[in-house]
A and B are shown apart, each in its own frame.
Chain A
Amino acid sequence: MSLSEAVALGLTEAEYGLIVERLGREPNQVELAMFSLMWSEHCAYKHSKKLLRTLPTEGPRLVLGPGENAGAVDVGDGWAVAFKVESHNHPSAVEPFQGAATGVGGILRDVFAIGARPIAVLDSLRFGEPTSDRSRYLLDHAVAGIGHYGNSIGVANVGGEVYFEGPYEQNCLVNALCVGLARRERLIRSAAAGVGNRLVLFGASTGRDGIGGASVLASAELGDADADKRPTVQIGDPFEEKKLLECSLELLDRGLLVALQDLGAAGLTSSSSEMASKGGVGVEIDVRRVPLREPGMEPFEIMVSESQERMLCVCEPDKVDAVLEVCARWDVGGTVIGEIIAEREMRILDGGEVVGRIPVEALVDDCPLYDLEPAPPAQPLYPAPPATIEPGLGVRETLLALLASPNLSSRRPLFEQYDCLVGSRTVRRPEQADAAVLVMPTGGAIAVAIDGNGRRVAADPYRGAVEAVLECASNLACAGAEPLGLTNCLNFGNPEKPHIAWQLTEAVRGLGDACRALDVPVVGGNVSLYNEGGEGPIYPTPVVGMVGEVPDPLHAGRSGFAREGDAIALVGPFRPSLAASELAKLRGEPLPDGLPEVDVAAVRAAQEAVRDFVRAGRLTSAHDVAEGGLLVAVAESCLAGGLGATLGLGDADEALLFGEGPGGFVVSGPDAALRELGERVEVRIIGRVDPGDLDVTVGGEAFEITLDALRHAHGALAELFA
């Protein structure tokens, strides 16, 4: 093979030289295909691995940390909760239905590959403004794809978030988080072991779909010729995956497996070589034995196909029959395709003929890692958004405009397309609380949330990333949960550009500092780079998912007001500003250069106080003040509970009414409870829950808005789907 072919597959000249050096010869076609995938950004994390090593990964409840298919934390009584978030951005930008569907399929496999039953999915989506036809098309089809896959396989979709911002117009983001449940002792690692043990490929047959997905599609910028990349998008079949899931869990239940791994990016190549690398062994695979979907496939195609719904396991030779029997019971194809060998090499056969030999380390570990060359941008990267509201609106009209804005309006038209109930664990459904709450077999519960406001990270990569972690932890606190672990998906532009490298470096520094300040370990995650189109990079978007513990599900928090006469309070060290706020966006203001400093310790103390009072059943509702600010948060609590409120806000200025920043909570409860809460954290009583409208007095001005009017404004997104 030649250098030009290597470059066409995404490798650099220097990388090709290194491959020749490691092999002591030029790679053949099979080997070059395998290297081009395994040394892609998507598989090798070559621009991010050094940064990721700075994140904290230790915690008292950690069971599995980064490096396995998914991380896991201990939830007591021998149970573990596995979770991970992953991106499927470029496939979704090219073919949104299948791209999003297979994104869900991929993250589900990561979770059951470690022996956990998937119990919940959350998704984090970013599109251009919904005024664009393309954005509405992408949103509609991505949501349909997520729903199709998750609903069909019977895993509850319990939450998520969507933002609409111009910089995602060309390059949407589709991140999916999966939560799984397993007995601790049942978790299985992916390290291959035992020379002579058999390699069994089971699940769907192998076709030409998704060839080069990880390299050509996931590790390059999007451009005009993307329609031509559609064949690199995989096609999903949730029914096949449902059988694969049940089959995999039964194989583990029966103790038949030594190791298990899913086939994702780079297919058979990455799954088998990573298993070999972790186990310190080699593998021999005969591509002639792989069941194919179409005739005439070349060995290199078989080795890198990203056909969906496939798993690879290692078992002892005398267990092969039993393994294949379980596969047959679930009507899942299973075939011995090779075995574990002592020589630490990937040996690829085509019938009797050796068609590829690569040292395992060369493929898995020797990809060069690059130092980023970060530099802050000399001038603003993102144009100011177009103004969508008129200047000089009063408080009432501003509140209604915010509620109706695409980023704040109700997500009901989207989440109603997802089954949030299957599995009988969902204690808090979407819009009932700031985090989804799922009951555990222990009798306790977990709360899960996913967050990441890219606009604020664009304004200040370090503080924006800190805020994303705080926001997620605040959402858990409102549900009564203490964070156990965090997973993240880093969605950024091209890291070879200094300003993107700077965004990435600063954001990872922020994530690490915030995690250390909250004592939350990072259990794993995913990096998606090269998210750029012709019009520039996306907003830097670190998406953060957290799992927390709620000891008593009967006291899981709610976001809606629920009792007339309750006092309403603004709680916490809330220092809002209009910088990079939703209101600033609606007014067409450019992004500020930097966000205000955050007292992370004070925010943590407020989270702990709110969490303790929710857990003790002392608060009727708790809701984090997020996008749109204080008045929007109060309106959301009114809508979630179907009750009104009377607020007296004195001479509060615009920044307090609509500004944003971490550390603020809107809570309701008996006066005595709020007085006691005030002994631990700043509490300012701002009103009372009543059965009527939302009545607000501020700065000598008074107005009321009926719940119907609030609901109408908040329902604005539905009109886009009419």
Chain B
Amino acid sequence: MKFGVLQFPGSCDDRDAVEACARVGDAVLLWHADRDLHGVDAVVVPGGFSYGDYLRAGAIARFSPVMESVIEFANDGGLVLGICNGFQVLTEAGLLPGALLPNTGRRFVCRQVDLEVVDADTPFTNLCAPGERLSIPAKHQTGRYHAPGLDPALVVVRYAAGHCFNGSQDDIAGVRNARGNVFGLMPHPEHAVDPLTGSVDGLRIFESMAAHVGAAHVAV
């Protein structure tokens, strides 16, 4: 299992994502100006402020050379996980439905939150039980999920009652595409992989991806 973590100028949680991925497989950084995905099995679009988030969060990164390849990779069924700014980039790129708007409180908030796994039958949550609660930190200023007419089947994780601070529609924390191979969420699973620095619940996401890819390899 080889993860590739994108690195844009302004990515902040790129090294954290590499460390988290490295707990379940190999992980490399993929430079924004390089179209080559170096044969990775899954792509992680990390958190941060890509290209300074000028114009609109994720709006510029979406046009980077590496994203052209990621879009192709996703359209071929490759696994793509977008975290925070990465989620914003994936919605800007049209790989995921909806958009992320400024938090209703207009402030940046960093807080440990509980998520509820709504759909445990995805490549990103297959090791979770339906309804299971995951304790994972969220930290953002532009995380209010907005997708009028969204197919409810695409919701993968929701903020547990009382844990949504950004005003997201139906407390949605993360969604997938119709095919199920692209997943984006605002909270940061890569910051919940070590008991020393918080919880380990986020590791389930990366382990699920590894399990999915492992199973796919066996099937081939």
Residues of A within 8 A of B (CB): 144, 147-148, 151-154, 237-240, 242-243, 246, 330-331, 415-427, 439, 553-554
Contact = CB atoms under 8 A, between A and B. Distances in A.
Contacts of A152: 10, 12, 49, 52-53
Contact of A242 (B10, B54, B110, B188): B10
A414 to B, nearest CB: 10
A554 to B, nearest CB: 7
6 contacts: A243-B10, A418-B108, A421-B110, A422-B12, A422-B13, A424-B197
B191 A424 contact: yes
Contacts of A418: 108, 110
Contacts of B11: 154
B194 A424 contact: yes
Contact of A422 (B16, B107, B198): B16
B52 A238 contact: yes
A424 B13 CA distance: 9
Nearest to B19: A424
Given A154-B48, A421-B188, A239 B108 contact: no
Contacts of B12: 151-154, 242, 419, 422
Contacts of B197: 421, 424-427, 439
Interface string B103-144: 000011111000000000000000000000000010101000
B196 interface: yes
A-B CB proximity, top 5 nearest: A154-B12, A239-B52, A424-B16, A152-B49, A419-B139
A243 B9 contact: yes
Among A330, A417, A439, find the residue whose CB has the most chain B CB atoms closer than 10 A: A417
Contacts of A424: 15-16, 19-20, 190-191, 194, 197
B51 A239 contact: yes
Contacts of B9: 239, 242-243, 246, 330-331
Nearest to A417: B108
B108 A147 contact: yes
Contacts of B48: 154
Contact of A427 (B19, B111, B137, B196): B196
Give the interface size class of chain B.
20 to 34
Contacts of A421: 110, 137, 139, 188, 191, 197-198
Given A417-B110, A421-B139, A239 B16 contact: no
Interface of B: 9-13, 15-16, 19-20, 47-49, 51-54, 107-111, 137, 139, 141, 188, 190-191, 194, 196-198
A416 B165 CA distance: 11
B10 to A, nearest CB: 5
Contact of A553 (B52, B54, B196): B196
A111 to B, nearest CB: 17
Contact of B10 (A239, A419, A439): A239
A415 B112 CA distance: 13
A574 B190 CA distance: 43
Nearest to B195: A554
Nearest to B198: A421
Contact of A154 (B13, B19, B190, B191): B13
A554 B53 CA distance: 37
Given A153-B12, A238-B49, A439-B197, 14 more contacts: A148-B108, A152-B49, A239-B10, A240-B52, A416-B111, A417-B107, A422-B13, A422-B16, A422-B47, A422-B139, A424-B15, A424-B191, A426-B197, A427-B197
Contact of B108 (A151, A237, A243): A151
A174 B131 CA distance: 45
A306 B191 CA distance: 37
Among B9, B110, B194, find the residue whose CB has the most chain A CB atoms closer than 10 A: B110
Contacts of A153: 12
Given A154-B48, A331-B9, A416 B194 contact: no
B110 A419 contact: yes
Nearest to B107: A417
A701 B10 CA distance: 59
A440 to B, nearest CB: 12
A439 B197 CA distance: 8
A441 to B, nearest CB: 11
B110 A420 contact: yes
A243 B49 CA distance: 12
A180 B85 CA distance: 25
